[in-house]
Amino acid sequence: MSPSHNLPPLNDRRCALVVIDMQNDFIPGGQLAVQGGDEIVPLINRLGARFRNVVIAQDWHPAGHVSFASSHPGRAPFDSVQLPYGAQTLWPDHCVQGSHGARLHADLDLPHAQLIVRKGCNRDIDSYSAFVEADRRTPTGLAGYLKERGIDSVYLVGLALDYCVAWSALDARAAGFSTALIVDACRAIDLDGSLQRALGEMESAGVKLIDSMALPT
């Protein structure tokens, strides 16, 4: 993993923890469960207490979202289709607005989080990243929010490492943020080698991959 040098202290005003998709549908028992997804909740709570700036990203799909296999007759979850913005993996219906599955995990304890950014709200565009939707043109507004707050360094945790967390990390780097992914505070889907691909892409983009024990104090 990357060394932690040059990372500012976690409670620095310039730092934010970005918590990705810690929602019931991504937890074991949910519609798109990530194995071990519930195991990282206590660690995320402990990490969150060390940051003065915390942002939570939340998948928030309308019913009938274009990324749902049920919206494409004859298709099954994990099939791929071509949409106007490119290839789209189809998923089971998940994180439908207002549903139990879309709620944050009940044990997630980040009362000082200042912002919840909801993504995937456009019925016709998916959004893995907390920064830019899957058409790669539509911003969520998170980069502007952080920059206006004077934040230039972000640490990412959550689900799933090889999809929404990785896309968020890559987009944070593209937006000019110093970016670190806390690997042991994430879990991955690892669909057809997606985990190793994501780790390689993040390292190539300058994302620091670190363990929580190596974080600056």
Residue numbers annotated as active site: 21, 119, 164
Beta bridge partners of 20: 57, 158
151 CA to centre of own chain: 18
Residue 101's nearest CA partner among 54, 31, 156 is 31
Return d(Cα 165, Cα 151) in angstroms, integer: 19
Tokens of 209: 């991959």
Tokens of 5: 């040098």
